[in-house]
Chains A and B, each alone.
Chain A
C-alpha cells in the first residue's frame, strides 16, 4: 500500500494506465506492462478478464474475449503480476475486475494471492460498499487496498458509505455509463473532484472516456490522477503481439501532457 500512496506526487497528477491481463495472450502482457512503465505510467491497473463484463464497453469486452480465448487463467494473471513486481519493485499494481473470479476460491485465497504476487490494491466493479464483506475484509487484513468508485450518481448522502473503509485512492467514474464511451464535460469533472476531495484525504483519480493527451491534461489540472483504459486496450487490439512500442508511445504522449498540465 505504501507504493500506492507514494505514487501520487504533490506537484502533478499521476497517470493510471489499464490493460487487460492475457490480451492478446498471457505471454504478451509482460512486455505491454513494461511499455506502460516506460511510457510514464505511475500506477498500473491490470484487468482480470471476465466472461460477463457488464460495466465495460466494446473495447474492454473484446479484450476480455481475446484473453479468455487465449486460455488465460487466474493463475496466469497472478504469475504476470508477480513477474511484473520482480521487474518493477516500485510501481504500484492494482488488480481490477469482477466479483466472481475474485471470490470463487474465497476472499482469503484471493487476498493471499494478491500479497504473494505483490499486488497493492484491488478494484472490484460489482462489489459496492453494501457487499464489502465478500472481499474487502480479507484484503484489508492483508494490507491490500480496496479502491472504491464514486460516480455522477454519488450524492452527499451516499459518499460517506463509499469512503468508509476505502483506501489507496478514490476512483471517480466521470460518466454514468460503461467504459470507453464519451468523456464527461470538464466543468462537471471539476465540480465532482472538488466535492469528493472535500470528503476525503485519499487521492482522487478520474477515468472513463479519457482518450487524448489534451483530455488527460485537462483532468490533470484538477484531479490527483488520470485513468486511461479503453484507448490503450484498443491499441493492444489493433497491434496484438507487437503492441508494446505503440502502447509505450501513446502512454508517453499522455504522460508528457499530464506532467506539463499545471505549468500552462
Chain B
C-alpha cells in the first residue's frame, strides 16, 4: 500500500499498529478478535479496486468533493495591516466546511460504513463531541439503512442542540452520557461499553484518528483525501507547494488528513493547533503541550493526566476539541520533530471566528477557528510571497449559540 522509501514519514504504523512507541491495541480481550478482523477486512478493502471506486464515487457525488481550495485575499489583506513591511503571507483555505454535513467528518464515515457493510455488521455506534461526527455517522447510516446509536456527553448535548436535533432527524438514537465531565471522553467510554456488549453485530465508527489499531491508520487514510486534493490543487493553481500547513487538533483527524500526503515534502512546514482553553496554565485540552504519554481508549498517546495516570478533565470552548488525548500519529510526529504543535485559547479562537466572518463572509466552526488564530499569528512573521494553507474543516452554524453566549449576546 505504502510505496514509500524506508526513511519516509509516511510508512507508519508498523504491522502491530505502533507509531514509534505510540498507538497499539490496548483494548479489552473481548474486542481483540473484532479489531483483528477489522484489520483483515481493511487490508482486503485496500486491495480491492471496487472499494476505492465506491468510496471515491460517494465522496464526489454525495459529499461534494473535491472541496475548493480558496485564496482568502480579504483576510490576507487584513492580516497584512498589522504586519511589518514585506510581511504577511498569503492565507489559503481548504474548504472542507463545504462538504455535505458541514465538516470533514463525513469523509471518514463514508469509508467506515463501507467497511462495516463488507464485514456484515448490521448496527452502527459512534461517539460525538461537537456533534459533527455524530451527524456524519447518522447521515451515512440513513443513506445505507443501518440503525445507529450515538453516544454524546450530556454537557455537549446541552451546548450542541442543533446537531442533536439533526441526528434525531436523520433517524439516530442519541444517548446522553452523564459520567465524568459528560463530554467527548465519557461518550467514548460509553461507546466502548456498548461495543463490547454487542460485538457480534455492531461496528464502531470512531470519529477521529485515535483508538486501537487499525483505527488511527484507516481514519487517516480516509481523511487523507483532504491533503491529496489540496496538494494537487495547489500545484495546479500556483505551481508549487504551500510553505506551511495549519490545522486544529482535538483527536487530530482533519490535521492528519491534511498533513499526511505532504509529510515527505521537506519544504512544507506543518503546524497543529491544540485547544488551550482558558490558557495552558489553567484548564485546557492541549495534550501535547500539557500532557504526557499514557494509555487510554485503545492507544498509547499523549494524555492529560495526573502523576498516578488518572485522566484529567479537558476544557475547550469547542466541544470538538474538548478531549484529553490526541491521535497517536500526532504524538509520534511531535517526537520525530516533523510537525510543530502550538495552541490557541478560547478567546483567540473567538476572535478568529469573528475575524473570518467579517473579512471573508465565512462562519467557521470553533474548531478551525483555533487554526485560523494561529494562521494570523504566523502570517505576520512570514514574507508576502509565502503561502499558508489552513484546513477550514467545519462550518460554524452549530456554534452560533455558544459564540453568542461567549460574546454576551442573546439570540
Contact = CB atoms under 8 A, between A and B. Distances in A.
B124 interface: no
Interface of A: 50-57, 61, 65, 68, 73-74, 98-104, 125-131, 134, 148-155, 158, 162, 173, 175-178, 181
B26 interface: yes
Contact of A100 (B188, B193, B200, B303): B303
A50 B199 contact: no
Given A54-B297, A130-B25, A176-B196, A100 B309 contact: yes
Contacts of A51: 180, 310-312
Nearest to A55: B28
Nearest to A130: B25
Nearest to B292: A104
27 contacts: A51-B180, A51-B311, A52-B296, A52-B311, A55-B28, A100-B294, A100-B305, A101-B310, A103-B295, A125-B28, A127-B295, A128-B26, A128-B29, A129-B32, A130-B32, A149-B29, A151-B28, A151-B30, A152-B30, A153-B29, A155-B33, A176-B197, A176-B199, A176-B200, A177-B196, A178-B193, A178-B196
A131 B29 contact: no
B315 to A, nearest CB: 15
Contacts of B32: 128-130, 153, 158
Interface residues of B, number: 38
A126 B265 CA distance: 37
Contact of A178 (B29, B197, B199): B197
Interface string B169-196: 0000000000110000100110011001
A99 B199 CA distance: 22
Contacts, number: 118
Contacts of B189: 52-54
Contact of A131 (B24, B33, B199, B310): B24
Contacts of A131: 24-26
Contacts of B196: 55, 176-178
A245 B33 CA distance: 42
B123 to A, nearest CB: 14
Given A54-B193, A128-B32, A134-B295, 12 more contacts: A51-B180, A52-B297, A57-B193, A101-B308, A103-B295, A104-B309, A149-B28, A150-B29, A153-B199, A175-B197, A177-B30, A177-B193
